[in-house]
Amino acid sequence: MALNFPNSPGIGSVFTDSTSGFSYEWNGTVWKSFSSATASNIQVLDDINGSFNGVTLTFALTSGGTAVSPVNAQQLDINLGGVIQAPGTDYTVSGSNITFTGPAPTAGLTFSGKLLGGALPLNTIADGTVTPTKLSAGGPSWNSGGDLYVTGVGTFGNLRVTGVATATTFSGNLSGNATGLSGTPNITVGNITSGNINSSGVVTATSFKGDGSQLSGVGLELKTAGVSAGTGITSINFSGAVVSTSSAGVSTVTISGISSTGISTAAIWSNPSVILTSIGLTQGNNNYGAFGPITVSVGATVTVGVANTWIIV
């Protein structure tokens, strides 16, 4: 296949063969295979021949007035006086400077150059150069203060938050201390393996495990004559007829006709019992009970007051 290249091409001229579709670029010496690239991949270097004086070897490289720093000499395409320079042999680069190995370019010598590819390291990405807009759609975003924003569902193997975590809903398993949560979140938790839950709102659970001794406002306190007999009681079982009344948070329980308030314990006996001295069951509106048989000694009496009853079972 014959290629009919144009005569007297300029440096950088591109020729595309209409038959094969291949393109070639004239570098001043030969036609080289050429693939089109976007402007972000290739930068034209500013002309530095105004600084050529036959003495100076090192020159600053800029593109559009902005300093550029090639990764290596091979990333540059340099032409002096129509002759392509060999990277590493005819010139070297350091930072944003190019140094010719000599002889020094003289005044009036033409210069052209291109930076091939972006001015980024080929093996690592420079710190602070990746922004949220460079990520794919739906990715997280963040600010200079280190706050991370995820608008969708964030799934983490382990999530450690040292600042404030704001979310509408948390679900899954939370381990550690879930502190610093804001935004009135709804937390759906499979298991909390450690740490404390401090909530000013409502905590709803299918079940609680433990003795409940640290829970406030939960369960029942049982008292005997005003002395606490235990806390955290959730169930009391009475046998027989039960009547309960409640006033100001205090309940009165009547069992089988015996009032739980005002019982004179000195007037309750169990078999066998002998009443040796006279007694009066006269405390107002009280019922008295005893387990018989009951023996009243000679000379002793039992006086049951008005509106009182004495039941011997």
Domain end call among 116, 135, 155 = 116
Residue 195 lies in a domain: no
Tokens 């291109």 belong to residue: 114
If you average pLDDT over each of 96-105, 132-141, 160-169, which comes out highest? Answer: 96-105
Identify the CA nearest to 137 among candidates 151, 125, 154. 151
Neighbours of 69 (CB within 10 A): 15
State the pLDDT at residue 239. 55
Please determine, for residue 229, whether its predicted confidence score (pLDDT) is greater than 60.
yes
pTM for this predicted structure: 0.31
Query: Is residue 55, in this structure, part of any structural domain at all?
Result: yes
The mean pLDDT of 285-292, rounded to a whole number, is: 73
Domain annotation covers residue 61:
yes
The verdict on residue 105 lying in a domain is yes
Q: What is the pLDDT of residues 122-160, one digit of tens each?
A: 456 667 777 777 776 766 777 777 777 777 777 777 777
User: In the predicted model, what is the mean pLDDT of residues 33-49?
Assistant: 74
Given 116, 148, 171, the domain boundary residue is: 116
Q: Taking residues 174-203, what's their average pLDDT? A: 65
274: in domain: yes
- Distance CA(275)–CA(263), nearest Å, equals 18
Please state, in angstroms and rounded to a whole number, the distance separating the CA atoms of residues 293 and 304. 18
Which residue, among 226, 260, 265, has the nearest Cα to 243 in the 3D structure?
260
Query: Has residue 273 been placed in a domain?
Result: yes
The whole domain housing 290 covers 265-312
Q: Report in angstroms the alpha-carbon separations of 124 from 92, 109, 128, 135.
A: 22, 37, 12, 17
In single-letter form, the type of residue at position 204 comes to T
In a domain, 27, yes or no: no
Looking at residue 307, what is its pLDDT?
Answer: 77
Domain boundary among 116, 135, 168: 116
Q: Is residue 134 part of a domain?
A: no
Q: How many domains is the chain partitioned into structurally?
A: 2
Reported confidence tier of residue 179, pLDDT bands at 50, 70, 90: low
